[in-house]
């Protein structure tokens, strides 16, 4: 791209200027020094003015600005490349990178979650996962963390905004309460019958 060529030109100009000082022996330019010089130049009023003038040039803007279609093609090509996938996995293992990525895609993730909650297949998958004992055990371990609880509550709040999911969730809760109530009721009846038997035995003994 011409933008990269322009940057290279600026670097070359700075390096040439730095190395052409009279009375000094020529030596290889130091990267850090060159970088700092470029940064210093770009922060000056003249440097800023030069950049503003360049950005006013329609042909320059056309060369440096990537279209949405080109960006999408590049992104898709990058994400489907197996080598790049491994590099991304290693990169995402770094806490700071993962945190910045999560923050940058937070809005998109929220939209995606809302869309998935409306998908019947995704809803069924979530229900099946919740019924899996191993998954439930892992979830219990994760739920011990306070931060995860906050995130889970947020996800549940978003999920309950979907009427279909809310209806299914309510039915599951009602069924669970009925089962719990039935078990308690069965235990009470058993205790009552046992007490009645003891009472009858006492009456028989008195007769």
Task: List phi, psi (to 5°) of 16.
Answer: -60, -40
Q: Which two tokens stand for residue 144?
A: 């011990």
pLDDT the model gives residue 120: 85
pTM listed for this prediction? 0.26
DSSP assignment of 108-140, as one string? HHHHHHHHHHT-HHHHHHHHHHHH-HHHHHHHH
Q: Which two tokens stand for residue 114?
A: 């809302």
pLDDT the model gives residue 144: 75
Do 18 and 33 form a contact (C-beta atoms < 8 A)? Answer: yes
pLDDT the model gives residue 17: 52
Do 160 and 169 form a contact (C-beta atoms < 8 A)? Answer: yes
Helix (H, G, I), strand (E, B) or coil at 66: coil
pLDDT the model gives residue 28: 60
pLDDT the model gives residue 204: 47
Who contacts 123 (Cβ-Cβ below 8 Å, separation ≥6)?
A: 117, 164, 165, 168
Place of tokens 């491994």: 86
3-state helix, strand, coil in the chain (%, to 5): 85, 0, 15
In angstroms, rounded to a whole number, what is the distance separating the alpha carbons of residues 123 and 116? 8
pLDDT tens for each residue of the chain, 207 residues long: 444 455 555 555 555 555 544 545 555 667 777 777 777 877 888 878 877 777 777 776 666 666 667 777 777 777 677 777 777 777 777 888 777 877 777 788 778 877 887 888 888 888 888 788 887 777 777 767 777 777 778 888 888 887 888 888 888 888 888 887 776 665 555 555 555 544 444 444 444
In angstroms, rounded to a whole number, what is the distance separating the alpha carbons of residues 187 and 179? 12
């Amino acid at each position: 791209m011409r933008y990269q060529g322009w940057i290279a030109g600026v670097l070359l100009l700075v390096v040439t200027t730095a190395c052409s000082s009279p009375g000094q022996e020529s030596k290889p330019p130091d990267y850090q020094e060159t970088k700092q010089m470029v940064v210093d130049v770009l922060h000056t009023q003249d440097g800023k003015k030069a950049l503003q003038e360049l950005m006013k040039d329609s042909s320059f803007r056309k060369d440096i600005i990537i279209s949405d279609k080109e960006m999408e093609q590049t992104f898709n090509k990058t994400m489907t490349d197996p080598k790049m996938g491994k590099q991304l996995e290693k990169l995402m293992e770094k806490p700071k990178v993962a945190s910045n990525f999560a923050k940058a895609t937070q809005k998109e993730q929220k939209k995606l979650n809302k869309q998935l909650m409306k998908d019947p297949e995704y809803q069924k998958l979530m229900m099946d996962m919740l019924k899996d004992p191993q998954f439930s055990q892992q979830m219990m371990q994760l739920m011990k963390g306070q931060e995860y609880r906050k995130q889970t509550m947020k996800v549940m709040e978003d999920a309950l905004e979907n009427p279909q999911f809310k209806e299914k969730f309510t039915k599951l809760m009602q069924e669970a309460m009925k089962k719990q109530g039935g078990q308690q009721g069965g235990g009470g009846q058993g205790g009552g019958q046992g007490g009645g038997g003891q009472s009858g035995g006492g009456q028989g003994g008195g007769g």
